[in-house]
Amino acid sequence: MKKISLLLLFLIFVNCKENKGLSVEPEVTTKENTLLAYAEGFTIEHHQDFKVLEIRNPWPKSDKIYRYALIRKEMAPKITLNKDEFDAILITPIEKIVVTSTTHIPALELLNEENTLIGFPDTNFVSSEKTRALIDEGLVRELGKNESINTEVLLELRPELVIGFGIDGNNKTFDNIQKAGIPVIFNGDWVEKSPLAKAEWIKFFGVLYNKEKEADSIFKNIEADYLDAKKIAQDVTHSPTVLSGAMYKDIWYLPSGTSSEAILLKDANANYLWSKTTDKGSLSLNFEVVFEKAKDADVWISPSYYSSLEAIEKANQHYTKFKAFQNKAVYSFVNTTGETGGVTYFEMGMARPDLVLKDLIKITHPELLSDYDPTFFERLK
């Protein structure tokens, strides 16, 4: 009887392996993931008890995918995850954060989470009045230079998370911070290919604060505002020609036709003279090539850091030969700054492409948007 019983158990075991109909279905743990319309550098997976934030391409030519598990505070005692599967496990909402680029600050403010910011490198570059007030009150500590963050002060602050950005992934400071047990997430919004894709990274911050619905609503408003402005510009029949950039050490640097700057000019229905180029990054040209193509351009946008026509003329007399200079049709964002000199465009421009687009439409088609006052750009005097 014992042999018969063993034989029956063996047959049942074999039959169960071969008959898929008898296998137990695994528990379904994923729900609908966060919908991203433009951004390609991150994804948010929704699981039954936690979420997974994936970061891809946080800098050009990066090939590693970073994975972070996000667990709501009330669920943390009930969940055990395999740490080896993630670069870090975070408890949300984040209550103490350090960000390292001014471009990260608008997202915190749009989500009403600027009070969670406890440290920032180069605080003088912050232009926002709300965050500047926190800095002035001593609630946001100065962390030194971005290239060499004061890790001693940062470790004293003990943030739950540091949001970094990398040019090539080699950053010993961030490595040391992570070795001290503080997670670092690389934000790759600046690598995205379009203005709206960059702005959509507010959803990245939204999931860190359990505010995905709020982040989605904010982005949809920005997107709608952008597309409405674009539609208004497309009805204009004349597209003024546009030059951009300026020289540095005898090389003229200007945006490629694939850049966000070129996309914005296209959506403003302006004829950017290098819109057909497909190079990645900026173009590097000599003066003669630029002058030949753009000497009669109607508008000159973003002439490096020059803040006046006089400064442009002093820098190089050749600049005065451009029609745009002669007609005083030169526009820049460098004069719109915060209390301590931080350029507002560098802080808010990526988060609010709708406002940048409206500025460019106002410049290239002044008859449109009659009730709109430019946010970033102004005509140089």
Find, among 116, 114, 50, the residue nearest to 86 by Cα. Answer: 50
Strands (E), 234-372: 241-244, 246-248, 251-255, 271-272, 282-285, 299-301, 330-332
Same domain, 188 and 265: no
- Going by pLDDT thresholds of 50, 70 and 90, the confidence category of residue 17 is very low
Same domain, 212 and 66: yes
* Residue 234 φ then ψ, to 5°: -70, -15
Same domain, 189 and 285: no
* Residue 96 pLDDT > 80: yes
Examine residue 273 and state whether it is found in any structural domain, yes or no.
yes
Of residues 16 and 170, the one with the higher pLDDT is 170
pTM for the model stands at 0.90
The residue type found at 254 is L
Of residues 33 and 28, the one with the higher pLDDT is 33
Q: What is the CA radius of gyration of the chain?
A: 26
Examine residue 226 and state whether it is found in any structural domain, yes or no.
no
Examine residue 5 and state whether it is found in any structural domain, yes or no.
no
pLDDT given at position 61: 85
Of residues 33 and 101, the one with the higher pLDDT is 101
Same domain, 171 and 261: no
Non-local CB neighbours of 183 within 8 Å, separated by 6+ positions: 68, 87, 88, 90, 160, 161, 162
- Domain, as residue range, for 207: 42-221
Examine residue 318 and state whether it is found in any structural domain, yes or no.
yes
CATH number at residue 67: 3.40.50.1980
Examine residue 20 and state whether it is found in any structural domain, yes or no.
no
pLDDT given at position 18: 38
* Residue 113 pLDDT > 90: yes
β partners of residue 52? 45, 69
For range 237-249, the mean pLDDT:
95
* Residue 19 pLDDT > 70: no
Examine residue 268 and state whether it is found in any structural domain, yes or no.
yes
State the total domains in the chain.
2
**Residues 46-95: tens digit of each pLDDT:** 998 999 999 998 998 888 899 999 999 999 999 889 999 999 999 999 99
pLDDT given at position 30: 53
As a whole number of angstroms, the distance between CA 149 and CA 154 comes to 8
Residue ending a domain, among 197, 221, 245, is: 221
